[in-house]
Amino acid sequence: MGRSAMKGLLAAFVVWLACLGVGWADLQDVLQDNRAAIEKASRKTVDAVLADIAERGGSEGAAFLEQWQDKAVWQRKADGLFFYVETDDKQTYQLIDVSSGAVVGEAGKRDLKNLKPNSGVRGVIGSALVEFQLSDPEPRRRMAALRAIERRPDRSQLEPLRNSMVDEPDAEIKRRKEVLLALLTVRFGADIAERVAAAEGMRDKLSLETRAALNPLLATRRVVSIDGPPDDANVARKLRVGSEDLSEDAAYQMLVSAELALPDIGAEARKAALIASIAEGAVGGVPVAELDSDVARERAFAVLTAEGLAPPSVTAEEREAALRAHEFYEVYTEPSAEVTDAVQGTLGIINQRVAFYQVLDLSLDGLSLASIYFLAAIGLAITFGVMGVINMAHGEFIMMGAYTGYVVQLFVPDYTLSILLALPLAFAVTFGAGVAMERLVIRWLYNRPLETLLATFGISIALQQLAKNIFGTQARPLTSPAWLDGAWVMNDVVSVSYIRIAIFGLGLIFLFLLLFILKRTRLGLEVRAVTQNPRMAASMGINPDKINMLTFGLGSGIAGIAGVAIGLYAKVTSELGSDYIVQSFMTVVVGGVGNIWGTLLGATLIGFLQKWIEWFNPSNTLAAQTFMIVFIIIFIQFRPKGIIALKGRAAGD
């Protein structure tokens, strides 16, 4: 029985077993019928054994093949029966029946022989098992079979794979089977039209596996021809000698390899031959003293060649003539031009779509990062814009919010409920800390920016050390709810984690909430009044001192909520806030001090800029941040008040 027929039986027998309830012979009887071939298995004889096991061995046959491939089958020397074994002391073995799986006796190690098929036999068994596993009830085994086919595709796998798709219940596995079936059809289809149709039908498949499988069909080799392209060759292009296509040395070497030109021994070999042939002060009748010119050396070497003392030399004229007399082509290893044209067209469309989706994926990453920077910076934009306070401890309020979420999860094991509780609690904790900081420190340092900067920097160091004393230096987990696990996958190129989508949504909520507070509430009216002209606001009955306190608390509270959001995907440590303080200040300054829309635009600009720079230099994120800072410095030189400048008499006009 041929190998393809044997594999067809192997692929079909599981379906027969499940659907028809066929009665099978006892597996031990089947093995005994093939005892000699199993004992001395080889690549030439194992096909018949596998076919007989598939035809008569029942469902236990696949299990036996797996054990045989893993060298886990033993034979009792006394009667030649086959068993699986279990042992604890390596001397006494429990014998397990190959059919029932029950323990049927014991034997000593000397009474048994371990069957160890060679690598060739194991490879044949492995190919057969792949086709068994395509219809295995376990999804894990079916997926493993698909991966095995992807690694070693074969023409014989085409029909079993097509048959296994009929009743495939798993949507993801069926999708993988469809892609793999198309790839196998392109390579091993029955006719050209079928292969072309399969290639054209893959234009919507963007996976890396698809591209990796199609690219070998466009593999080429270089050939040389005397008069036009070779007959029956699928020519990819004609090569120009002496250009980037093909160097003159490489072209001549092709002629030599094809025995169309004499080998050029090279200048070094020619020099060595002349030196080795020096006799009585001359070489080939030419005195050594006269060998100071190319003409003399060529004459001497010609004499050596004529006397058989050196291989023939190729002159520059002969070399050039040989190159002119031949043409060089790059031809596809795939003989069908229709197939290669279809594959090229498919890959071209796939690559265009991949490029588009890569830009989209990068833009979504930039948007996600921008939402994080916006959440981290919006509180700072409020305090910096209203009071002009450079709060270097703003990052520590982010850190406090993250640790608040961690503490809540210690007492509330439901992650969804804990996050819902942590958000308002983090706001309350950091709001109170911000008010306390403003009342105790900031209020005494208004209009003294250097002292404010130094004081808040000292507070940030103190808060970091306090966090280390309380929570330690190790990162603490802030676990996201199960419904935030995974990612939204648009296709094989674009995916966005659900956590980042949630942070983006949280950023939008705070954007509209702050706009409502500032535009539609009395507090917002008073904040805008104090921002534009604190003296005039005070003369209208507004207490700037109270507004400053509430504003500082509001900005700190928002930083705490940002800490909970950031802690869901970042490491919660005492240095968490310091990772975002620089970006927060850059966001505020670039966007425009004290303006929410400016902060949004600044976060968007910085987020997109950082992602695009990282894309050009993905292995060095520090360099990306350096380039980003340089860009921002240049940007500020041309627009020092940011994208949206604050208007009013308090804006420094």
- Per-residue model confidence (pLDDT) at position 311: 67
Spatial CB neighbours of 349, under 8 Å, sequence gap ≥ 6: 203
Find the mean pLDDT for residues 186-200: 81
What are 502-541's pLDDT values in tens digits? 888 888 888 888 888 878 888 888 877 877 777 888 888 8
* pLDDT at residue 604 is higher than 50: yes
Phi/psi for 50 (5° steps) reads: -65, -40
What token pair was written down for 302? 């010609």
Spatial CB neighbours of 305, under 8 Å, sequence gap ≥ 6: 311, 312, 313
- Per-residue model confidence (pLDDT) at position 649: 39
CB contact at 8 A, 132 and 16: no
What are 358-410's pLDDT values in tens digits? 888 888 888 888 888 888 888 888 777 666 778 888 889 999 999 999 999 99
The residue with tokens 């030399």 is 313
What token pair was written down for 55? 């035809």
Spatial CB neighbours of 122, under 8 Å, sequence gap ≥ 6: 69
- Domain locations in the chain as residue ranges: 3-133, 220-332, 355-651
What are 235-248's pLDDT values in tens digits? 888 888 878 888 88
DSSP string, 392-409: TTHHHHHHHHHHHHHHHH
Distance CA 611, CA 374 (A): 15
DSSP 8-class letter at 215: G
Helix (H) or strand (E) holding 189: none
Find the mean pLDDT for residues 335-343: 84
What token pair was written down for 486? 């995974």
- Per-residue model confidence (pLDDT) at position 481: 85
Distance CA 517, CA 538 (A): 20
What are 108-157's pLDDT values in tens digits? 878 888 888 887 777 777 767 666 677 777 777 778 777 777 777 777 77
* pLDDT at residue 412 is higher than 80: yes
What token pair was written down for 372? 């994080």
Spatial CB neighbours of 306, under 8 Å, sequence gap ≥ 6: none
Point out the least confidently predicted range of 138-152, 440-454, 564-578.
138-152
Strand order in the sheet with 103-108: 103-108, 92-97, 82-87, 73-76, 112-115
* pLDDT at residue 89 is higher than 70: no
pTM over 0.75: no
Helix (H) or strand (E) holding 476: none
CB contact at 8 A, 202 and 182: yes
* pLDDT at residue 11 is higher than 50: no
Of 58, 65, 86, 84, the closest CA to residue 73 belongs to: 84
Cβ neighbourhood burial of 232 (10 Å; 0-12, 13-18, 19+):
exposed
- Per-residue model confidence (pLDDT) at position 474: 87
DSSP string, 120-171: HHHHHHHHHHHHHHTT-SSHHHHHHHHHHHHHS--GGGHHHHHHHTTT---H
- Per-residue model confidence (pLDDT) at position 462: 93
In terms of DSSP bridges, do strands 220-225 and 327-332 run parallel, antiparallel, or are they unpaired?
A: antiparallel
Higher pLDDT, 505 or 232: 505
What token pair was written down for 135? 């219809």
Higher pLDDT, 122 or 499: 499
DSSP string, 536-566: HHHHTT--HHHHHHHHHHHHHHHHHHHHHHH
Distance CA 538, CA 519 (A): 20
What are 38-73's pLDDT values in tens digits? 878 777 777 777 777 766 656 677 777 777 778 888
- Per-residue model confidence (pLDDT) at position 424: 92
Find the mean pLDDT for residues 339-353: 87
The residue with tokens 């045989």 is 68
Mean pLDDT of the chain: 79
Collapsing DSSP to helix, strand or coil, 185 comes out as: helix
Fold classified for 355-651: ABC transporter involved in vitamin B12 uptake, BtuC (1.10.3470)
Point out the least confidently predicted range of 3-17, 524-538, 610-624.
3-17
- Per-residue model confidence (pLDDT) at position 15: 38
Query: Angle at the Cα of 52 (from 71 to 161), degrees rounded to 5?
Result: 85
